[in-house]
Amino acid sequence: MTSPLNSAANETVRGANVRALHVLVPACVKASPTAAATPAGQSAAPAVPVERRTPPDGYRCAIEAHRQATRSSRDITQAVQRQTAAMRELSRRAARPR
């Protein structure tokens, strides 16, 4: 089963060099007592709100770098659009009969 998966991964992602995959067996999930007691169509709300941990510094740095890169690509796109508009205007002026 892993050979077709390797081939599919390599075809899907350009430049990928997948040599091995480890396919894991699905794990059993035991139903909680509250899930079994909840009528169909209703969701069991957690009794205690979930507390989120503070993300590590490396994660925050990676997110900030991604945001900066996204801003940069937007700036580049806008600059290309301005340049294209200016070139079209110059072409239009040059093509005008005198």
Q: What pLDDT digit, counting tens, does each position of 16-73 carry?
A: 788 887 777 777 766 655 555 555 555 566 577 778 888 888 888 888 888 887 777 7
**Residue 67 dihedral angles phi and psi, to the nearest 5°:** -65, -40
Instruction: Evaluate if pTM is beyond 0.85.
Output: no
Domain boundaries, the chain: 56-98
Q: Which two tokens stand for residue 78?
A: 């806008």
CA distance 28 to 20: 25
